[in-house]
Structure 1
Amino acid sequence: MMIKEKQVSQAFFQFILPFSWKAVTIRNFILFLQKNQFTPYRLKELHNETAYYGGYQVLHSDMEAFFHPITSQFLFPSSGHEKGFQRYTKDINVESLLTINHQKIPFQIHSIDLILCPYELGFITVRTEIKDTSLSNAIDFANHFNRKDYEDLLPDLRHFVNLDSPPPFLEPDKMHIQSLLHFADGESIDEVDVFRSVTLCGENVGNHEYITNYVKDHSYSRWAPNTYICVNENCFSCLTNSSTPKLMAVAKRFYGENYYLHLINLFNKLVFVKIAQNYSTIRIEKDYNEIEKLIYFINSFTSNFFFIEYPTNLEGQELFKLFKRAYNIDSLYLNTKETLFSLFKYEENSVTKKDSMLLLVLTLYTVICGIFSMNLFTKDLEGKIDWSHFKSYNPFEYFAVFIVFSGIIVVAILGFQSLYQVIQERKNKKQWDEQAVISSQVPKKSN
């Protein structure tokens, strides 16, 4: 197909890189962020509504109202001691150049987010803007902006995040891109433009029928032909040729509600994939503690952070469904439910077998001690014990002594084991809960 080049007056990008952090470094991680002028993001601080978005405004009240009250609690925690997405943001506001095939594209970095999420996951987001360029240049810019830019902005990040060796459930070098393309006056938007923007496709775009079907399956065209939204597994793209006043409203949603819709579904996908990866490594006959941990992991996630519907209005619900479909959330959720059912069945069968064996052993001891052992020598235990009398026991009496005292030892061992298991379970659950709930409380510096 022949491509008709379009001019873009402004192109806004949010480059999102998932990462995994180590729980043991969380306190030092937060100190590192504060040292580098990152500030906690709180909805009550209204001056931040225009601080990070290149002059555009994100209304905190609209964002809070957009999501259900329960969802807002973990998306926008009011303090660093609450569970949820702990976002730290820094205003960068620097000019830079990206060289692509000897062509220099000037761009501006507005701000950077570092979001610490439950289950040792997180996101780095860099907000950039380029002006007065072609659609092809904007697509090239998105394709070539890589994670080295993150290291330039945060050179000491490697102390807390290993970007070279991500966990197996994270895709290496896989950034997720949000783009808002504002077309120049007089430019129209067609299906090819939408397709290219969300697939980051160059000149070879394929046949028109394929493009039409793809855009239909992945886009939200409520405001067409002036504004299109398209979502796939790696990109969220919004294209508009609306006037500047309307662009303000589109940008507000782009940096606000749509950004968090993207993060929610990306977080859900990563957690579900992490669950599947952990399940695949379990040795079912040996890793009983890992089974308990995974059951707790699944239950804590689905009860605290996974909800079937998030937004309160129709537009938000439709966009949320579009994200869910792009990230295959429903299928991953069903797979997780099956995993939980399998783990429960195995745990139930294992506990039943252990209880049956324990009951059998205790029953045998009880029967033998009650009918046979105790009647043979307990009279010798009355009053002051004459230990020399035990030398005259016959084999049956020695056997009775063994049964009684071994039974006492077995009961004592079982009691200590039960007490140890209770203590260990409480310790494990406290540790697992710390992975599920982030606290950004920083220890006070000593004088």
Structure 2
Amino acid sequence: MQPIELQEKHLSHAFFQFIFPFSLKSDISQPIVDYLKELDFRLFHLEDSETENAYYGEFRLNHRDIDSCFLPLTANILFPIAQHDKGFQRYSKKVSVEGQLNTKQAAIPFKVHSVDIIACPFALAFLTIRIEIQEISFSQSIEFADRMRRLKGDSHQFDIQLDGMTEQTLIDVLVKRFCPQLFTFINNEEVLFLERENMFVQSLLSLKGGESINPVDLYRFSTFCGYDPAGNPNVNANNLEFITHCLQGCTYERFGPTTNYFVQQNCFVGLTTTDITADSNSQSQRFFGFYYYSLLLTLFHKLVLLKIANSYSAIHIEKDKQEIEHLLYQINSFTSNYFYTVYPLTSEGQEIFKLIRKEFSIEHLYTNTKEILFTLVKYQDNNVAKKDSMLLLVLTLYTVICGIFSMNLFTHDLQGNIKWGHFKSYNPFEYFAVFIVFSGIIVVFTLAIQGLIQQYQNRKSQKKWVKNTIWSSKRN
């Protein structure tokens, strides 16, 4: 078997959106909104036509076209009209700064067009960084994506220069430059279950005229095979049949052979041989619009489902009664408000959305969540039935005993002016009747007080759950 011979290809344009999901601390919805406004981040909504040309370099994103891609119930979540509405609250800022990635093989200049911070329900958020590169080799684009997605740097391998600052990671240099207090809003104690050391990469690469797309190109980018130690283009497999098999079911070829898309859990790459220009921007419209929001929605679904599974695994079933109630509320709120079976309107949209969901294992995670819900409801029903049976037994015993003893033995002494001296002459049965009656009264009052306290605690807890589940900057 002959090894695969790689020939370097070149790109006229390369667009990247690096997506960093993180968890927000509770009760910080309004403070983070105030902070973003101070930094001149602007609330994104589709009715604001002025921002169609603001965040994508020389390209324009048609807001009406994006809105028409989704059903109204989904569009209302992705594009809420007001900042107090539930859903994805996107705040964007145009930055237009140039930077450079320095590696052992090359110095790669790039331009950051804009930054998004999207606050979502369930205390989740996404940081998106939009970057463009012109005139670059295909191997350099792979190396660029691999280095820039990392959340931990290596001073011996590369560094990133941006607007007079030098850092080891893209996140560090962007946050320090444009939102230095962002990390104070992040809940570091909650793990987000994606690759902990890498961001998600969405890319659109335009090959120069005369170049063609082959399976090896898609495989190299999906596995981030840029250069080998000697600085030559690299691929970590020699068997073309193996590579073709790896791409099966992950590739979207509706626009082939000129354009192919590939989806994995760590990247979404589009390769095209057509020139991407501002005049004919159907590719960029998909990239910045429908595909981007489909990725965000799927990432959101995956993270929430994984959070539910993680919370379930951490529950002590006999002790964490309140956590069980919380988890049941989360599951029901998520499935009723944010999880739908049909999202896009067009056949293309449904095809790409199904592909993304399949690669993110959404159906498997949702099935697991339904099993968790069934298990918790069954346990809760059994537990409530046991408590009700025990309470019924206690109250029945009190009723029977009071009926036998109290009404016949000493209740006549409680009529009119009570003669307390009579109690001294009671026999053991009469003392037992007195104990039963007064202890029964105490039990009834105790149960009533406990019920009121429990109702108050449930209302208080539910208000907190609602704030985290239905994200809103509305002051309470």
TM-score (norm 2): 0.90
Q: 353, 364, 373: which one pairs with 1:320?
A: 353
Indicate the residue corresponding to 1:382 in structure 2: 415
CA contact (8 A) 2:305 2:365 kept: yes
Summarize the Cα distance change of 1:442–1:347 in structure 2 as closer, same or farther, 3 Å threshold. Answer: closer
Most deviating of 43-52 and 26-35: 26-35
Cα distance change on mapping 1:418 and 1:162 into 2, 3 Å: closer
1:274 maps to which residue? 307
Residues 387-402 of structure 1 mapped to structure 2, 5 A cutoff: 387-402=420-435
Q: How does 1:3-402 map to 2 (within 5 A)?
A: 3-101=6-104, 103-145=106-148, 146-147=150-151, 148-154=169-175, 155-161=180-186, 167=191, 169-202=193-226, 203-206=234-237, 207-244=239-276, 248-402=281-435
Q: Matched residues in 2 for 1:266 and 1:405: separation? A: 60
Contact 2:23/2:192 (<8 A) preserved: no
Give the TM-score taking structure 1 as reference length.
Answer: 0.96
Separation of aligned partners in 1, 2:475 and 2:9: 50
Shift of 1:441: 3.6
1:162 to partner: Cα distance? 5.4
Shift of 1:373: 1.9
Aligned-partner SS, 2:382:
helix
Question: 1:29: how far off?
Answer: 1.4
176-185 vs 18-27, which deviates more?
A: 18-27
Aligned partners of 1:441 and 1:305: how far apart in 2?
19
Please give the secondary structure, in 2, of the residue aligned with 1:223. Answer: coil
Deviation at 1:188, TM superposition (A): 1.0
Q: Residues 442 and 390 of structure 1: is their aligned pair in 2 closer, same or farther, counting only changes over 3 Å?
A: closer
Amino acid at match of 2:418: I
* Counterpart residue type for residue 292 of structure 1: E
Shift, 1:214, TM fit: 1.9
C-alpha deviation, 1:102, in angstroms: 5.4
Q: For the Cα contact (< 8 Å) 1:19–1:170, is it kept in 2?
A: no
Aligned CA distance change for structure 1 residues 171 and 102 (closer, same or farther; 3 Å): closer
SS at match of 1:23: coil
Q: CA deviation at 1:366?
A: 0.4
Deviations 1:256-313 (A, max 9, x none): 0000000111111111111110000000011011000000000000110011121011
Tell me by how many angstroms 1:383 deviates. Answer: 0.5
**Mapped contact 1:151–1:157 kept (Cα < 8 A):** no
Q: Confirm or deny: 8 A CA contact 1:8 1:135 kept in the other structure.
A: yes
**Local SS of the residue matching 1:66:** coil
Higher helix share: 1
Matched letter for residue 331 of structure 2: I
Matches of 1:395 and 1:265 in 2, distance apart?
A: 72
The alpha-carbon deviation at position 26 of structure 1 amounts to: 2.4
Report deviation, 1:57: 1.2
| 2:23 counterpart letter in structure 1 | S
SS at match of 2:68: helix
Q: Within 2, Cα distance between the matches of 1:89 and 1:257?
A: 17
Please name the residue that 2:154 is paired with.
Answer: none
Q: Is the 8 A contact 1:30 1:442 kept in 2?
A: no
Q: Is the 2:70–2:344 Cα contact (8 Å) retained in structure 1?
A: yes
Q: Deviations over 1:372-405 (max 9, x none)?
A: 2221000001111011111111111011000000
CA distance in 2, matches of 1:375, 1:49: 86
SS of match in other structure, 1:24: coil
Q: How far apart are residue 437 of structure 1 and its match?
A: 1.1
Alignment-mate amino acid for residue 41 of structure 2:
F
**Unaligned residue ranges in structure 1 (runs of 5+):** none
Shift of 1:200: 1.8
**1:125, distance to aligned residue in structure 2 (A):** 0.5
What residue ranges of structure 2 are gaps of 5+ in the alignment?
152-168, 227-233
Moved over 6 A (4+): none
- Pick closer, same or farther for the CA change 1:247–1:136 going to 2, 3 Å: farther
The range that moved more, 273-282 or 139-148, is: 139-148
Structure 1: distance between partners of 2:187 and 2:365: 26
Q: Which amino acid is 2:127 matched to? A: I
- Does the 8 A contact of 2:206 with 2:275 survive in 1? no
User: Match for 1:158: what amino acid?
Assistant: F
Separation of aligned partners in 2, 1:437 and 1:30: 15
Q: Give the equivalent residue in structure 2 for 1:437.
A: 470
CA–CA distance in 1 between the matches of 2:256 and 2:457? 59
Partner Cα distance (1:320, 1:213) in 2: 21
The count of aligned residue pairs is: 442
Instruction: Note the C-alpha offset of 1:184.
Output: 0.8
Q: Percent same amino acid among aligned pairs?
A: 50
* Aligned-residue offset at 1:170: 4.6
- Structure 1 residue 160: Cα displacement: 1.2
Q: SS at the partner of 1:83?
A: coil
Secondary structure of 2:211's aligned partner: coil
Alpha carbons of structure 1 residues 107 and 166: separation in structure 2 relative to 1, 3 Å: farther
